Amino acid sequence: MNNAPIGVFDSGMGGLSVWREIRKRLPHESLIYFGDGLHCPYGEKPAAEVVGYIDEAIRTLIAHDCKLIVLACNTATMTAVKYLRATYPLPFVGMEPAVKPAAATTETGTIGVLATRASLGSDWFGELSGRYAAGVRVVTAVGEGFVEAVEADEEHTPATRRLVERAVAPLLAAGADRIVLGCTHYPFLADVIEEVIANPSVQLIDPAPAIARRVEWLLSQDGRLAEPTHVPELLFLSAAGAEYAEKLRRRATAL
């Protein structure tokens, strides 16, 4: 047993969609959430710059004695997970678009992926699609403005709905019946996306529950789950300062 905290990192608020699933699955675990906030969004920034931001945050989480760190950000995983695993002696769990379950369950033979421009344009995404979606048509769309809408608590405004309609339309026109949410901010727009889709046969796929299962498995493998009687501590940190960290705490409390 090990009552040290699990660290969860994201460029901003999006990783709270993963934090929520870990909290549900592992209610006795202490969690430290670091939402950058200052440099969000990462999707359009140079990779070397993003790695610097991530590295600074990870060192903060390590200083808080985290036993495992979740990169609850697809762009962070793509740009930094190999470096982090080679640099720091603790487990890192990364995110990737859930292409595999989408491809395995599609009935139309076409899946859609909503993600950032950086993720969709990466070799990493191409390799992922080639590995898990052979024989399946993969159509993609950038969630333009999605991250900014979530960060501003504007998920349910008419302007955000128009952004969602613009992004989802080509996926539906192509016949996609599975749409992968390839950025951890996007699940906060899931109800709006479902309203726009207006078709129960088209399913959204969020990888966050699978990430929580992976965290549980890794910790159980080497006996590092928290004690069943442990009273968890929940801490929120940010490069943007105390006001943003408090905003993260309030958002998490409401989940």
Annotated active-site positions, please?
A: 73, 183
Measured CA to CA, the distance from residue 196 to residue 165 in angstroms comes to: 6
DSSP 184-215: TTGGGGHHHHHHHH--TTSEEE-SHHHHHHHH
Measured CA to CA, the distance from residue 170 to residue 172 in angstroms comes to: 5
Here the tokens at position 150 are: 């979530």
Residue from 86, 85, 60 nearest 5 by CA? 60
**Helix, strand, or coil (residue 63):** helix
**Angle at CA 101, nearest 5°, toward 98 and 105?**
140
Measured CA to CA, the distance from residue 192 to residue 76 in angstroms comes to: 25
